Amino acid sequence: MTHVFRFFFERRKSDFTFYDFNSGCWDQFQGVVDLSQDEAEELPKIRLDLLLEVGRQDWYRVVELMSFHDLSEDIGRVALRLEFAPRGDLAERFRAAREKARQAKEQQSAEEKGIFAPWPEDLRDYLDRELNSAYEFRCHVLNPDSFDRDGSVCEGDDVTGRLADSSAAAREFVDSLIHVDMVDAQRFLSDDETSKGRDLSRHVRRFLDYSASDDIDHAAHQALKASEQQAESYLVGKFATTFARLNKVVGPGIRNPRLSVRSRQSGDALLAESAWVYYQFTPGEEDAQRQLPERFNGLGYKNFLFMLIEIHEMHRRWAAGVGVRPLIHLVVIEEPEAHMHPQLQQAFLKIAREFVDEDESEVFHTQLVVTTHSPHIIYDTSFDPIRYFRRLSEPYGTPACEVRDLSKLETDDPRFLRRFLKLTNCHLFFADAVILVEGDAERILLPLMIDTDPGRLPQLVSSHISLLEVGGSHALRFKPLVRFLGLPVLVITDLDSVAIPEGGTRRKACSVDTPGAVTSNQTLIQWLPRKKDIEELLKTQKKGKTDEHREGSNTSWVRVAYQTRQNFRWGGKTHQAAGRTFEEAMILENLEWMRIYGKKVGFEPDESISPEQLAQEVFDFVRNPPEGKTNLALTLFDLFEESRWKTPHYIQEGLTWLNSELDREADL
């Protein structure tokens, strides 16, 4: 994204190369040896569509873009398309280059033809060298209503006209609207005085040139002049003997020059070179005896200060501009998290925004655009300003992504999602897949289940999985968000069987085999597999536990995993049972392990009881473990190192499914 901003608004020569075109369109260049003008116009283009809201007082600046149906409004919407497109003479120039290549090839010997092919072999070869002379900047007027369509880009019919006849005029107009400054990801800060990295002091000195004003501080320059005279007197005395000897030397053929030394000090340069940054860590007034040079502070804090200084100077230069000042000032900050610890990352956006606000007036407002891979950076933001770049699963390995505008997320409870994601540091936005789990036990033990056998779940081990503990009744509330983001989702939840006792009105937890039992889990009832009866849930096949999520042009899948009937050995025979919860399934599917470690876990059933009594004892134990379910999970975690227990079958099935989903995406 930052590369597009840099090209269209800074337009440094050769910013775009052939490889900036998506690989999915390379076939339109590859092998092309002849090109007509009509074919040239249909070649791939790189576009940036912009929608601007302009106040009435600035309408005169965008009159070329405006339609007059909304002149009664205080705010008008205008839209334009910036485009990197083929020049009108591309076909002619390409044919001329190909003709020269053909003639050169005819003059080659048979041996030379097998070694070297004259340039250009085809259109791709031509553009690889001549792209920036073969393509040009264009600007078109768009219908602003086209931006209101959900999940679609502006089409050709939305173009209402070309902004200017020449590329230079179009650029001049765009420059009068928008000014973009870049704070790059590679800021080259260093703590090493001998490195090529830029220290903060050098950065501060660089801005003294930008901050110079027309007002001259005569007192400061008078002090510099006195210092210059004292330095000159010192230098004359120091070099007197040396220069006296040199002045006696006669050069061949010329009159002997006399050497002297003077102190030549530039006021601005001297002031700049004398500017060094120090840190004082003690409270109270500034004390030079208690200050440390900047290299004794961490790179993270130095990086933080560096960006604030950059933003301040960028705003000041824009606001102090003369002539036709651009209406909009964007500062694009690329990956500000470099070297910063999580707490500073969390505070960055808030502090940067407050820092900019102090500079702003009623007229000048700098807008920040931040790109990040850090969940901490977006910690304190609402959904509205977030634009989520989601990789699409395109065939043949063609890289593509879709931008999702979270301000358009449709959910009944956005405040809950925002608060929850803030609590969990927003890792969801940077994940390859999501696992929603019921409670503490699954959250503690699931990473252990995944890491136990990397060969069995290679994609899960190597991918970024967001594990969210949401509770059985709250997983459903995440459905709109995970669907909107287009992530594969595994929901691990419990059957939560309940029944209404005779003569009662309130539902009560019961074992899975209780006749007429239903689930109280709203995820199973309203999301997947949309069933309430326990027996129906137990009979549901794998296909009924998955669902397709289609949002925009992206398709993803969700699967639910809950307890199923599994075999267990008791009393020398094989029996079947399903746990009501994760803990029940863990015990029933690990009875052999429990015979050895049951005492440490706190569950030691009598070997003589029936399978039905065993299932009831497991049910009673899990309902109220001696020290709580979290402690039970931690005990299982601790004992795993001594002897491995088995992952419950329903969880293993779910993890295998998610691994195959990630494997399928990796193959595309």
User: What is the per-residue pLDDT across 558-614, written as a single tens digit (0 to 9) for each?
Assistant: 999 999 999 999 988 999 999 999 999 999 999 999 999 999 999 999 999 999 999
The residue-averaged pLDDT of 431-458 equals: 92
Contacts for 90 with CB less than 8 Å, ≥ 6 apart: 35, 40, 43, 134, 135
Confidence of residue 654 (pLDDT cuts 50, 70, 90): very high
Whether residue 243 is predicted with pLDDT greater than 70 in this model: the reply is: no
CB atoms within 10 A of CB 491: 27
Share of the chain above pLDDT 90, in %: 46
Cβ atoms of 499 and 582 closer than 8 Å: no
**Which 3 state secondary structure label does DSSP give 482?**
helix
pLDDT value at residue 431: 92
pLDDT value at residue 598: 95
54-63, 100-109, 277-286: the lowest-pLDDT one: 277-286
The residue-averaged pLDDT of 25-45 equals: 94
The residue-averaged pLDDT of 514-534 equals: 95
Confidence of residue 259 (pLDDT cuts 50, 70, 90): low
Confidence of residue 112 (pLDDT cuts 50, 70, 90): confident
Closest CA to 65 of 152, 151, 162, 150: 162
Whether residue 194 is predicted with pLDDT greater than 60 in this model: the reply is: no
588-591 contact pairs (CB < 8 A, 24+): 588/615, 588/618, 589/646, 589/648, 589/649, 590/645, 590/646
Rounded CA separation 587/619 (Å): 10
pLDDT value at residue 436: 96
Cβ atoms of 26 and 396 closer than 8 Å: no
Whether residue 474 is predicted with pLDDT greater than 80 in this model: the reply is: yes
Confidence of residue 196 (pLDDT cuts 50, 70, 90): very low
pLDDT value at residue 262: 62
Rounded CA separation 429/551 (Å): 16
The structure's pTM equals 0.82
Q: What is the pLDDT of residues 364-402, one digit of tens each?
A: 889 999 999 999 998 888 888 999 998 876 656 677 888
Instruction: State the first-to-last Cα distance of the chain, in angstroms, to the nearest integer.
Output: 23
Closest CA to 587 of 561, 539, 558, 623: 623
pLDDT value at residue 192: 58
pLDDT value at residue 209: 57
pLDDT value at residue 379: 85
The residue-averaged pLDDT of 96-114 equals: 89
**What's the chain's length in residues?**
668
The residue-averaged pLDDT of 487-513 equals: 91
Confidence of residue 305 (pLDDT cuts 50, 70, 90): confident
pLDDT value at residue 90: 96
Q: What is the pLDDT of residues 116-147, one digit of tens each?
A: 889 999 999 999 999 999 999 999 999 988 88
Q: Which two tokens stand for residue 350?
A: 């808030």
pLDDT value at residue 197: 46
